Amino acid sequence: MEPSRTGSSPSVPLPRRGAFLRGILPFFRFFVARKLLGTSGPLLGSFKITYRCNLRCEGCPFHRRGNEPGGHMDRETAIRSLDRLREMGTLIVVFEGGEPLLWRDGSFTFNDLVLYARRRFPRVAVTTNGTFPLDVPVHVLWISLDGLGDVQDALRSGSFERIRRNLDRANHDKILVHMTLNSRNWREAAPLAEWVKANGKIRGMTVQLFYPYGQGEAPLALAPRERRLALESVIELKRKGYPILNSAGRLRAMIDNAWTCHDDLLVNVDPDGTITRGCYVKGRGTVDCRNCGFTPVAEACGASDLEGGSLLAGWRLFVGP
pLDDT tens for residues 276-287? 999 999 988 889
For residue 285, is the peptide bond before it cis, meaning its omega torsion is within 30 degrees of 0? Answer: no
- In a domain? residue 25: no
2 has a pLDDT exceeding 90: no
- In a domain? residue 228: yes
- In a domain? residue 22: no
Angstrom distance (rounded) from CA 112 to CA 206: 27
Indicate the residue type of 35. Answer: K
pLDDT tens for residues 216-254? 899 999 999 999 999 999 999 999 999 999 999 999 999
Q: How confident is the model at residue 193 (pLDDT cuts 50, 70, 90)?
A: very high
Q: How confident is the model at residue 65 (pLDDT cuts 50, 70, 90)?
A: confident
pLDDT (mean) for 171-192 = 97
If one counts the domains in the chain, the total is 1
- In a domain? residue 36: no
Q: How confident is the model at residue 67 (pLDDT cuts 50, 70, 90)?
A: confident
| CATH number of the domain that residue 230 is part of | 3.20.20.70
> What is the pTM (predicted TM-score) of this model?
0.91
- In a domain? residue 215: yes
5 has a pLDDT exceeding 60: no
Arithmetic mean of pLDDT over the chain:
92
Q: How confident is the model at residue 45 (pLDDT cuts 50, 70, 90)?
A: very high
pLDDT (mean) for 37-42 = 89
Q: How confident is the model at residue 20 (pLDDT cuts 50, 70, 90)?
A: low
pLDDT computed for residue 19 by the predictor: 57
pLDDT computed for residue 21 by the predictor: 62
pLDDT computed for residue 18 by the predictor: 57
pLDDT (mean) for 69-81 = 96
- In a domain? residue 258: yes
> Are 50 and 57 a contacting pair, CB within 8 Å?
no
Q: 179: exposed, middle or buried (C-beta count within 10 Å: 0-12, 13-18, 19+)?
A: buried
List the domain range (segments joined by +) for residue 296: 41-319
pLDDT computed for residue 13 by the predictor: 42
pLDDT tens for residues 107-123? 999 999 999 999 999 99
Angle at 311 between CA 298 and CA 198, to 5 degrees: 85
29 has a pLDDT exceeding 70: yes
Distances (CA, A) of 175 to 113, 132, 149: 19, 14, 19
- In a domain? residue 33: no
List CB contacts of 57: < 8 A, sequence separation 6 or more. 63, 129, 155, 156, 157
pLDDT (mean) for 291-315 = 96
- % the chain with pLDDT above 70: 93
Indicate the residue type of 58. Answer: E
12 has a pLDDT exceeding 50: no
Q: How confident is the model at residue 255 (pLDDT cuts 50, 70, 90)?
A: very high
- In a domain? residue 14: no
